[in-house]
Amino acid sequence: MAAPRNSSRTFYRRGPEHRFGEIINFADIRKRYDFRSIEIGRWVTRDENEQAAAHFYDALGDLMAILNGPEALISLRGTLAFQYGIGGRPGVAAHYTPATRCFSLAKNAGPGSIAHEWYHALDHYLADKCFSDAPKGVFASKAWLHDATPVPHPLNDRLFACFKAIMLGPSGEGPSELCRASMAMDKQLNSLYYSLPEEMCARAFEAFVQDQPICNHFLVKGTRSSKEAKLGLFPQGEQRQRVHQAFRDYFDLLGAGLRRLCHHV
């Protein structure tokens, strides 16, 4: 679950053209990416629907370009559902629900929530593909940290390298700087949230996405200069570089494999 972000109706973006002047709706998004389902809240007006669909379409196109993968990656091969303006939580811009494999965006969602929640969906989707004994509903990152039995595969090896770069120090032993800062924040708040493996990995993914040449504040924002960033709750410095390279290696291999698979279907 992403932390609340400031709401805004305009979002800074620097990236390739995706809509080419066309008016996009959520049916177009579902068709292009093959989402399992898309539901729109009954209180979403036509103008709000159109505006949100345009922002979301650009954000997903930018994410696909950043990850160097096909449309099937974005919908997790048609398994991911999406809701807009339904079942929102007070103060929360977006959330992912593992039980229904559904990504939800609040009607008045602020910028920067999509990358975080999409990574939760990916992390959840990968658990039973990476581990032979992962409990149902668990995230791959949590299963890795709890020493679940890995499924041997080059893709899984690269994903585990991402987890290692995020949660462990440079030597591969002891907690990383991100992990220590996250545990310190949870101790201060007397809670368990920031140091959850799935939350650390989602924030690390946000940082990876924001460090790309494509910039989209509807997709991701706040990993460099926000209050959370200044508290060390996103990867910093040398660790950020290691995380960036680990994610790049993983998504390049994943994207290539998915493109080959889609080409032969």
pLDDT in tens, 68-96: 999 999 999 999 999 998 865 666 778 89
Q: Does residue 8 lie within any of the structural domains?
A: no
Range of the domain at 68: 13-264
In a domain, 240, yes or no: yes
Higher pLDDT, 87 or 142: 142
Contacts of 59 (CB under 8 A, 6+ apart): 114, 216, 218, 219
Is 5 part of any domain? no
Domain contains 224: yes
Residue 30 located in a structural domain: yes
Q: What is the mean pLDDT of the chain?
A: 91
**Span 92-101, average pLDDT:** 88
Residue 54 lies inside a defined structural domain of this protein:
yes
Distance CA 164, CA 51 (A): 39
Report how far residue 67's alpha carbon sits from residue 85's, in angstroms, rounded to the nearest whole number: 27
pLDDT of residue 184: 98
Domain assignment present for 7: no
Residue whose tokens read 């032969």: 264
pLDDT digits (tens, 9 = 90+) for 240-258: 999 999 999 999 999 999 9
pLDDT tens digits for 160-170?
A: 999 999 999 99
Task: Name residues whose C-beta falls within 8 Å of residue 147's C-beta, 6 or more positions apart in sequence.
Answer: none
76 domain residue, yes or no:
yes
DSSP 151: P
Number of domains in the chain: 1
Listed residue (78, 75, 84, 65) closest to 26, CA to CA: 84
Query: How crowded is the C-beta side of 188, counted as CA atoms within 13 Å?
Result: 9
Q: What is the pTM of this model?
A: 0.93
CA 193 to each of CA 118, 173, 185, 217: distance values in angstroms, whole numbers, following the listed order? 18, 22, 9, 24
Q: 8 pLDDT band (50/70/90 cuts)?
A: very low
Q: Write out pLDDT tens, residues 169-209.
A: 999 889 999 999 999 999 999 999 999 999 999 999 999 99
